[in-house]
Chains A and B, each alone.
Chain A
Amino acid sequence: MGAETKHRWWVVAALLVGLMATPPLAQANEQLEQMSKDPNQWVMPGGDYGVTRFSELKQINTNNVKNLEVAWTMSTGVLRGHEGQPLVIGNMMYLVTPYPNNVYAIDLNNIGKFAWRFLPPKDPNAPPVACCDVVKRGLAYADGKIVFATLGGKVYALDAKTGKVEWEATNADPLKGETVTAAPLIVKDKVLIGVSGGEYGVLGYMSAFDLNTGKLVWRAYSAGPDEGMLFNPEKTINGNLQKPVGKDSSLKTWKGDQWKLGGGDTWGWYSYDPKLNLVYYGSGNPGTWNPSQRPGDNKWSMSIFARNPDTGEAAWVFQMTPHDGWDYDGVNEMILADLDGKPCLVHFDRNGYCYVLDRRNGKLIAVHKYDPTVNWAESINPKTGIPTVNPAKMTKAGVNVKDICPASEGDKDEQPVSFDPVTKLFYAPLNHICMDYQAFDVKYKAGFPYVGAIVNMKPASPGVRGRFIAFDAMTGQTKWEIQDSFQDWGGALTTAGGLAFYGTLDGWFRAVDVHTGKILYQFKCPSGIIGNPITYMHDGKQYVAVLSGVGGWAAIGMAMDLTKPTEGLGAVGLTADLSDRTNLGGTLMVFALK
């Protein structure tokens, strides 16, 4: 009864906030949405609210791309993994580096000097608790402000003209294992930003800060009581079952209070449908690594959330990997694309399946493997999306489970896919790796607690650790593929010029024919690429830009100077030979036609 009363109070509060917030914000929203339709600029991390990473520009096309050359470059001054991408707003380019997360503004009319730079105070507590290199996936723009979060969890809004701090807020505390690696998404007057920290069981959340003041407007958790998750038990839809989630939909799937260390962190990409007024994002792995210590479906870890950005209330939620035993975080991007006349959400999950959902209600439309080696599940129910797990591939205490595909890095991790609305195909940079997984119980050696889980990652096919594919999400057909030596950990860009761009872990930046997969141009960059290409026009000329700086989870050994091969264990051993091909770096590469 108490919970119900509280719930009602929350709905009223949320409604009030929503009502108060509506009028002026709609304007900022429309402005940003309009800007995102202008192919001359690149105004948000995914290019547009649907994170399609597609551009209408075609000055550079299949005929002339062979004449591409480096127009200019810039050192970021940081030698760690450069995930993410710059933004281009009018004549200005903005980018944020990996930790310490310095921000640079470059006037494209005067690339000879920085227009301004902002060096946030370093938080020495943050790098040690960052899981997989100290990456940063970009910044956001709206209403004359550049907004980003530091690894240490501070959110800054800077004046886009001067770099002056307009406000500062706190979204995470590294002393509790919380960090922020994601790029924010700005919707109306809300800055949406999540949290990382699955290694510490950080209970994930999505925060909405007021764009004008930095005040926290709402925060929605990934697990726990309905009030904390901003669930309406009667209205929030369980996408798997296509009915309301009902009361305590998360609490029922955890033993005792374990949801408090429930994980479900929200460190991926965020998208938004202005017509439906819904934001979409995924949640990561459940708290404790060892699945036998957390019986149940562990909802709503490993799930896709659709929320009202004004109030945070969840419209629907869809779980992909219940009771995860492999670390298949569900955070990869939610691409909003209309397929067969339906408003779809397309998600290439770490678990190796590509999910097509009706983005209005989370109903499953299609689900297909996008890597043929996937074997953790025997099947996925085509109606509910609920997997039938292959019992031989479930990890458990004390057992060495061999040849699980994909490995924990997934068949795809954070590297974003691009959707080309012309071919209606998805261009996906992928991993192609399997693993042996030995999980141990937590034990006590007199005076010393002990637990271990040793992962041995290996290529899924000899010599092939990455693929770049053109994929039909409705039929599950791979139209063509390029096989790469290492994980393709950088994102994709497609253009109306009939081109797909992507970079390899050993530093080749490529332009590919979207129809055939033929590599039409490639350039060896100073360092491996894990960043996402963008394109823009300046002074009548089309440019393509990408960050070159190897690192991230895929190349952690190199980023941390761990170059010795180590009995083939884990990510370090997997990419030990990468150091024969490339080196650490931190360079913005900008290409144009001769």
Chain B
Amino acid sequence: MIRYCLAVGLAVLTLCASAFATEKPLRVCADPDYMPFSNRAGDGFENKIAELVAKSLGRKLEYTWHSYRGHGGFGEFLAQTLDAKKCDLVINMPYGSQEELTTNPYYASSYVFVFKKKKGYDIESMDSPVLRKLKIGFERETPPADGLKIRDMLFDAIAFHVGDEKGESPAVMLQAVEDGKVDVMITWEPAIGYFIKNYPGLEVARVPNERATGSPEQYMFSMSMAVRKNDTALQQELNKFIAQHKSDIKAILDSYNVRLYPVAGGEIL
């Protein structure tokens, strides 16, 4: 916008000034009902980050609501919203995803093991021997599902499908551990951190990356925002925002108990 105004020149300076005042709204697409990520009431951490972005860019926040978990899943969500130009931004995508254009990462977290503290299981990786004796829960089509598969442990484990079903809360994964339906749940920490305060008896331990079985196994991910593939202008703006608001972003994530795991070198790109 600034560049455009400069190009147009002095003659329309007043027009430009008024354009700034009525700057285009920041159009975010988000799920109306998927806590702790987002909801229509603005309770999710994605909502809070969207608000911070809008405020910092001096733009009004405008949502287009569409379920992340409808028919076709998140891919279809992107096709129906961002790709269809109903919005310009989604708040939460893994860094480096080829589906859209991702910004620099603004947090990094990890898949985790969740189990009852009092059981005191000695679990430090997917290869910990005790796992072979335990009932394991996992979210289907995630890295832990692959990790279990290559260890031939998949058939004895219980699949969850929080990421596929509208209305299903990630809290069910914690409840399953609490109720003893599974001994260990392997899940993405940011999905369950928000609910863990209701389960004081549960312990959370990260799943480390490895390639012990020969295949690279990645359980830690850097997360970023995403814009349409050709929208490098907004990407640049967002990168600047991320660089300038690291501590504000961290404060939001902390308040949702999203555990940040240091990546190599102790910093995020």
Contact = CB atoms under 8 A, between A and B. Distances in A.
B209 A442 contact: no
B241 interface: no
Q: Determine which residue in B94, B150, B151 has the highest number of CB atoms from chain A within 10 A of its CB, and name it.
A: B150
A445 B75 CA distance: 8
Interface string B108-147: 0000000000000000110101000000000101110010
Given A129-B208, A447-B34, A569 B98 contact: no
B200 interface: no
B9 interface: no
Given A129-B209, A450-B142, A176 B262 contact: yes
Contacts of A448: 139, 141-142, 162-163, 187-188, 191
B42 interface: no
B94 A128 contact: no
A443 B264 contact: no
Nearest to B162: A447
A173 B263 CA distance: 11
A449 B31 contact: no
Interface in A379-402: 397
Contacts of A176: 262-266
A25 B141 CA distance: 58
B269 interface: yes
Interface string B43-57: 000000000000000
Interface stretch (A63-71, A182-190, A307-315, A553-561): A553-561
Interface in A259-315: 260-261, 287-290, 292-293
**Interface centre among B152, B191, B266, by most A CB within 10 Å?**
B152
Given A441-B98, A446-B69, A457 B216 contact: no
A447 B218 contact: no
Interface in A532-586: 553, 556-557, 560-562, 564-567, 569-572, 574
B201 interface: no
A455 B211 CA distance: 10
A454 B149 CA distance: 11
Given A260-B267, A287-B264, A450-B141, A566 B211 contact: no
Contact of B163 (A128, A441, A446, A574): A446
A445 B213 contact: no
Q: Report which residue of B69, B188, B214, B221 has the largest number of chain A beta carbons within 10 angstroms of its beta carbon.
A: B214
Nearest to B214: A570
B163 to A, nearest CB: 4
A197 B264 contact: yes
Interface in B22-70: 31, 34, 37, 68-69
Contacts of B267: 260
A443 B99 contact: yes
Contacts of A445: 73-74, 139, 141-142, 163-164
A333 to B, nearest CB: 22
* Residue with the highest number of chain B CB atoms closer than 10 Å, among A199, A408, A409: A199
A92 interface: no
Contact of A455 (B75, B215, B220): B215
B124 A566 contact: no
Nearest to B68: A446
A536 B267 CA distance: 47
Contacts of A435: 214
A562 B127 contact: yes
Interface in A431-473: 435, 441-455, 457
Most chain A C-beta atoms within 10 Å of own C-beta, residue among B68, B213, B223, B269:
B213
Interface string A396-421: 01000000000111000000000000
Contacts of B97: 441-444
Interface in A49-91: none
B212 interface: yes
A593 interface: no
Contact of A177 (B34, B73, B142, B264): B264
Contacts of B31: 446
Contacts of B213: 556-557, 562, 566, 569-572
Given A131-B212, A177-B209, A288 B96 contact: yes
A357 interface: no
A446 B77 contact: yes
A216 interface: no
A452 B214 contact: no
Interface in B195-253: 208-216, 218, 220-221, 223
A127 interface: yes
Contact of A447 (B68, B211, B262): B68
A200 B220 contact: yes
A445 B141 CA distance: 8
A203 to B, nearest CB: 6
B256 interface: no
A202 B68 contact: no
A560 B163 CA distance: 32
B191 A447 contact: yes
A569 B214 contact: yes
Contacts of A556: 212-214
A261 B263 contact: yes
Interface in B132-179: 139, 141-143, 146, 150-152, 162-164, 170
Contacts of A175: 262
B95 interface: yes
A537 B232 CA distance: 69
B93 interface: yes
A408 B214 contact: yes
A258 B105 CA distance: 12
B73 A446 contact: yes
Contacts of B74: 443-446
Contacts of A257: 104, 269
Contact of B269 (A261, A447, A564, A565): A261
A453 B150 CA distance: 11
Nearest to B122: A124
Contacts of A553: 212, 214
A566 B150 contact: yes
Given A444-B93, A446-B73, A574 B98 contact: no
A132 interface: yes
A201 interface: yes
Contacts of A203: 264-265
B146 A572 contact: no
A391 to B, nearest CB: 20
Across chains A and B, which 6 residue pairs bring their CB atoms closest together, nearest first? A570-B214, A571-B214, A446-B68, A570-B213, A449-B94, A449-B221
